[in-house]
Amino acid sequence: MASQQSDDDIFVDSPTNKHHRFFPSSPKLITMKRDQESTFDTVTPLTRQMKSSSISASESGDNERTTPLRRRPSVLDEKALRETDTKTVRDQRIQAITRSYQGILDSIGEDSTRQGLLKTPKRAAEALVFFTKGYEQSIRDVVSDAIFDEDCENMVVVKEIDIYSLCEHHMVPFFGKVSVGYLPNKRVLGLSKIARIVEVFSRRLQVQERLTRQIAEAIAEAIEPRGVAVIVECQHMCMIMRGAQKVNSRTTTSAMLGVFREDPKTREEFLSLGGIKPF
């Protein structure tokens, strides 16, 4: 596709430095014409897909949209909720959560002065702060210096990354595995950074669908590959320990961007390389 190649040319020529903004604040016109498409800024087909996927959840991989695109905030630069915490603020948080847990222990009818429960509020508070430590880092900090120029043209898959998250609806853990794949476009990402991206997004109050999308978008923004694919398969304790109480059920969500969305063969290759075995 000629037009697609032209898009890539633009990005190959542009300087890639640490402060390169993927969505420049002043829109630039792309001079080449696309069918019935008007672009407002320099976006690759991949990032355009990310934006359009926010409008409709269609799986058809349709790139030719006439509706004007709403600007999405950058996932990389999204401000982390607790990024600017000082030690004092952190201690205050732990104290407030400790008091909350003390209230919880009393409200369920337990004797919070017995030996096993004496220090439980403090332990539980520190555990909760640990489970939400994903709020303390921005993705750009995690990723920024591990992007390398590399001539790799084949799929890179990091699979079966263990994740542990908290469901935001019940504050009960869900856990499982993530497989991430991408097709590099002259730039690769440090492998452990992929795992770190997964970690930062999962250590938050999450919804599995959003978690999956955020991982995919972060990688897409960071290295602008030809495509990104993410599969997340988890067991939700909120469904196993209570409610429906379906002990063996798992939830699988996926996010396919770029060539992974458009090309079924690529998608198939990822699914066979990155498949998550039963756990």
Closest CA to 176 of 158, 202, 139: 202
- C-beta separation of 224 from 43 below 8 A: no
Q: Is 195 in the site for other proteins (CB under 8 A)?
A: no
Q: Which of 132, 179, 185, 266 binds other proteins (CB under 8 A)?
A: 132
Q: Which is nearer to other proteins, 15 or 116 (CB)?
A: 116
169 is known as an active-site residue = yes
Q: Is 175 in the site for other proteins (CB under 8 A)?
A: yes
199 is known as an active-site residue = no
Q: Which of 15, 68, 73, 109 binds other proteins (CB under 8 A)?
A: 109
Which of 160, 209, 235, 238 is catalytic? The answer is: 238
Which of the stretches 20-28, 55-63, 161-169, 226-234 binds other proteins when contact is defined by CB under 8 A?
Answer: 161-169
Q: Which is nearer to other proteins, 73 or 116 (CB)?
A: 116
Residue 224, both tokens: 């602008």
Instruction: Give me the residue label for tokens 């059920």.
Output: 249
The DSSP secondary-structure symbol of 26 reads S
156-167 and 205-206 beta bridge pairing: parallel
Residue 80, both tokens: 């982390």
Question: Any idea of the CA torsion for 41, 81, 240, 176, to the nearest 10 degrees?
Answer: 60
Which of 199, 236, 262, 269 is catalytic? The answer is: 236
Dmax (CA) of the chain: 74
Which of 167, 206, 214, 233 is catalytic? The answer is: 167
Q: Is 244 in the site for other proteins (CB under 8 A)?
A: no
Q: Is 208 in the site for other proteins (CB under 8 A)?
A: no
In the complex, least distance from residue 105 CB atom to other proteins, rounded to whole angstroms: 8
Which of the stretches 1-9, 30-38, 81-89, 213-221 binds other proteins when contact is defined by CB under 8 A?
Answer: 81-89
Q: Is 108 in the site for other proteins (CB under 8 A)?
A: yes
Q: Is 130 in the site for other proteins (CB under 8 A)?
A: yes
236 is known as an active-site residue = yes
Closest CA to 131 of 84, 178, 163, 169: 163
- C-beta separation of 61 from 262 below 8 A: yes
- Strands (E) in the chain, as ranges, are 147-149, 156-167, 173-183, 187-189, 205-206, 227-236, 251-258
245 is known as an active-site residue = no
Helices 120-131 & 87-107 angle (0-180, nearest 10): 120
In the complex, least distance from residue 144 CB atom to other proteins, rounded to whole angstroms: 22
Q: Is 81 in the site for other proteins (CB under 8 A)?
A: yes
Closest CA to 220 of 28, 29, 49: 49
Per CB under 8 A, residues contacting other proteins are 81-82, 85, 93, 96-97, 99-101, 103-111, 116-117, 119-120, 123-124, 127-132, 135, 162, 164, 168-173, 175, 205, 207, 237-238, 240-242, 247
Active site residues: 167-170, 208, 236, 238
